[in-house]
Structure 1
Amino acid sequence: MSIDLRSDTVTLPSPAMREAMYQAELGDDVYGEDPTINRLQELAAERTGKEAALFVPSGTMGNAIATLVHAQRGRTVIAGDASHIYNYEAGGPSTLGGSPLRPVPNLSDGMLDLDKLRAELTDESDTHIAPAALVCIENTHNRCGGAVLNQSQIETIANLAHAQGVAVHIDGARIFNAAIALGVPVHELARPVDSLMFCLSKGLSAPVGSMLVGNKEFIRQATRVRKLLGGGMRQAGVLAAAGIIALEQMVERLAEDHKHCKQLAQGLADFPQIEVDPERVATNILIFQLRDSQQQPLTPAKTARFLQLAGKHGVLMGSMGEKAIRAVTHYGIEAEHITSAITGIRRALIDTDIE
C-alpha cells in the first residue's frame, strides 16, 4: 500500500462522518429547508465569528463567489503572485467577473509585499487605471510551504486595504491549521477581514465541501452567485453532516499532522541530496528540492524521475513548479508511515542516481 502524501485532499471520511452522513436529516437546501446544512452554516459562522455562512461544493467556488460579490466588472482583485487564487483557479475573477487579477509579490512567509500592495490600492482618481476592489490573502500559504500569517500580519493588510475602501478576503482553505499552529481561535484570524473561505475536505477530512463566511448581506449576495455558478444543491445535508463532524471532532487533531510533517522534514534533512529546512515547517506542508553532488538543483527531468521512483517505492508526492517537491501530511498518516516514507525516499534517491 502506498503512503499518499500528494495532498490532504486524499483523506477519507472518519467512521463518525460516515455514520453521520447515513443518519443525516435532509431537506431541499435551495429552499433553505435542509436542517443539516443550516446547522453546519450556523456552526461555521459561530466558529469564525462572522454573522452568516454558506456551504459551497469547493474552495475554488467559494473564492470565486467572494470575488464576484466584492468586486464589480472593471475593478481589480489583488492577490499574491504565489497564491492559489492567482495560479490555480483558472483566472476566476477575470474570466467570470471581468475583474482584472493583479498580482503582488508574496514574501517567503506568505505575507504580501506591503510596498507593492500600497501601490496597487488604486482608486478612481486616474481614469487610466482600474480601481482596486478586493485584496485576497492566503492562510496557510500552500506554495510557501504551509506558512502561517498571524493576527498582526492580517490586521496590517486589512488596515491598509480598508483605509482605501477596499475589501479583504482570506482564502483560508487551511485556516484551522493556521489557528492550531498559532494557538489562537480561528475567529481571531477572521476578525479583521470581510470574508473567509475554508475547506472541510482537506485536513478536516470531510469528503466534499467548503464554507464561505461573512456578514449577512455578503452571504445573501453569495447565495445568489452560488446559484448562478451551479452550486445550489438539494438534499446536500448528507455532505454537511460530515462537515459538522469535521468542525466538532477533527480540528484539534491537526496538531498531529503538523508533528508528522516536522518528523518527515527532520528525517529528510539527513540526506545530502535533499535541501530542506525543518525549522521552516509550520503546519502540514513540506516543500523540498533535490541537489546533486555540487549542491546544484536537479533538472526538472531528474526531479520527475525521482517522483516516479518514489511512487514505485510506495511514497506518493507531488511537484511544486519544475524543481520543488511537495509532501502533505493528513488524517490517516501516522508516525510509522512517516518512517516508512523516509525509507522509501532513500531508496528512490539511490535509484535516481544523483551525481
Structure 2
Amino acid sequence: MIIDLRSDTVTKPTSEMLDAMMSAKVGDDVYKEDETINLLEEKIAKLFGKSHAMFFPSGTMANQTAIKLHTNPGEQVICDKYAHIYNYEGGGASFNSGVSCKLIDGHQGMFTSKDVINSINPPDFYHSPLSSLVEIENTTNKGGGACWDINELKNIRTVCNEHNLGYHLDGARLWNALVAKEETPKQYGDLFDTISVCLSKGLGCPIGSVLTGDEQFMTRALRIRKMLGGGMRQGGFLAAAGIYALDHNIERLANDHKKAKELGEQLKTLPSIKHVEPSETNIVIFEVQDNIDSNTFILKLKAHNILISDMGQGKLRLVTHLDYTNNMHDTVLDLLNTITF
C-alpha cells in the first residue's frame, strides 16, 4: 500500500464522482453549449457573488489569465516571495504578460497592507515598473497552508482602491481556508476583483479550476483563455466532478486539517526534526536537524511506501487529502516513532 502525502492533487475520483461524471450532459463549450460546464460556472459565480465564472483546465492557466487581465507588458505584480505565481508557474507572468514581480518578504506567505504600500512604485517615476496588481495566495502553499486574516485582506483592498491597483486571489486551496476560518465565499467575492479556485486539490476532482469575476474582467478572460489554449469541447464530464465535489467534499476538509495537525504534533516530538511550521489546514512543512540530510529522511519514509515532497532549502512537506484514510494515518503516526538516524 502506497501512502502518498506529496500533494492533495494525487487523489482519484470516488465511484460516486465517477457516476456523476459519466451521467453528465455535455456539449461544445467553445460554443458555450456544454450544459454541465455552464452549471458549474453559474454555481461558482453565485457562491462568490460575481456575475461570471469560467472553467479552466488548470489553476496555473486561471492565474495567468487573471494576471493578463489586470496588467500591461512592462508593469509589475506585488506578491509574496512564496507566491505560487512566482515560484511554480514556470515564469508565466513574464512570458505570458511581460510583467515582473515585486516580492514581499512576508510571514508564511502573507503580508500586510503596510507592506503593499511600501512596495508600490511611484506612478510618475518612469524609471521603475508601474505597479498594477496585488496578488494574494490563500491558503499559502510554501507557507504551510496558512490562512490570511480577512481583516488584513480588507485593509489591502483599501490600499488597492486608493492606488488604482487590481486585486487577485489565487484561491487554489481557498476551500480549506473557508472551512478552517468558518468564512464564506461571498466574503472573498466582496473583496477581490478576480478569484481562481481549484477543484483538483482538496475537493478531489481529477482536473479543473475556475476563475470568477464581474463582466468587465470575464468577457476579456474568454479571449485570453483561448490564446492560452484553454478552450475545451465536451468538458462537462470534468465539470460534473466539480459540481459533485462542491456538493459533497467541502465540509469533510476539516478531517484533513485534523490529521495534518496530528502529524505536525507527532513530528515535533522527534529528535530528528528541527522545526515544524504551524498547521492551520492540510499542509505540514518541516525541517530536519542540520546533521541529517533531508533526502535521507525522504528515502527512509519511501522505504515504507510513504511519499512526501521536498520543497527545497531544507524544507519538507506532507499534505493530507481525501484518499488519505484513517488506517493510513495510524500507520504513518506509528512509523514516525520508529525512524532513527
Q: Please confirm whether the aligned pair reaches a TM-score higher than 0.5, indicating the same fold.
A: yes
| Distance of 1:219 and 1:14 partners within structure 2 | 32
Matched to 1:48, the amino acid is F
Residue 80 of structure 2 corresponds to which residue in structure 1? Answer: 80
Distance, in Å, in 2 between the alignment partners of 1:298 and 1:215 is 53
Quick one: distance in 1 between partners of 2:150 and 2:114? 19
Return the offset for 1:206.
0.5
- Rounded Cα–Cα distance in structure 2 between residues aligned with 1:71 and 1:93: 10
- Per the alignment, residue 248 of structure 1 pairs with 247
Gaps of 5+ in 2: none
Does structure 2 conserve the Cα–Cα contact (< 8 Å) formed by 1:285 and 1:326?
A: yes
One-letter code of the match for 1:76? Q
State the number of aligned residues.
341
Residue 238 (structure 2) pairs with residue 239 (structure 1): yes
How do 1:201-212 and structure 2 match up within 5 A? 201-212=200-211
Instruction: Answer whether contact 2:197 2:211 (CA < 8 A) is retained.
Output: yes
Deviations 1:288-307 (CA, angstroms, capped at 9, x unpaired)? 1112xxxxx245xx111110
The equivalent of 1:28 in structure 2 is 28
More moved, 152-161 vs 206-215: 152-161
Q: State the secondary structure of the residue aligned to 1:129.
A: coil
Question: TM-score, with normalisation over the residues of structure 2?
Answer: 0.96
* Alpha-carbon distance in 2 for matches of 1:338, 1:276: 21
| Mapped partners of 2:2, 2:32: distance in 1 | 42
CA distance in 2, matches of 1:158, 1:44: 22
Q: Retained in 2: the 8 A contact 1:105–1:113?
A: no
Q: Does 1:340 align with 2:326?
A: no
Q: Read off the aligned partner of 2:286 and give its amino acid letter.
A: F
Range with bigger deviation, 260-269 or 200-209: 260-269
210-219 vs 113-122, which moves further: 113-122
Equivalents in 2 of 1:267, 1:250: separation in Å? Answer: 26
Aligned ranges 1:6-155 → 2 under 5 Å: 6-108=6-108, 110-155=109-154
Does the aligned pair in 1 maintain the 2:113–2:152 contact within 8 Å? no
Q: CA deviation at 1:114?
A: 3.9
TM-superposition CA deviations, 1:264-319 (whole Å, max 9, x none): 112222212223458x210000011112xxxxx245xx111110121111211001
- Cα distance between partner residues in 2 of 1:49 and 1:308: 46
Structure 1 residue runs of 5 or longer lacking an equivalent are 292-296
State the percentage of identical aligned residues.
39
Deviation at 1:47, TM superposition (A): 1.3
Query: If the length of structure 1 is used for normalisation, what is the TM-score?
Result: 0.93
Question: What secondary structure is seen at the aligned counterpart in 1 of 2:36?
Answer: helix
In structure 2, relative to structure 1, the CA distance for the partners of 1:21 and 1:244 (3 Å cut) is: same
CA RMSD of aligned residues (A): 1.4
1:274 aligned onto 2:273: yes
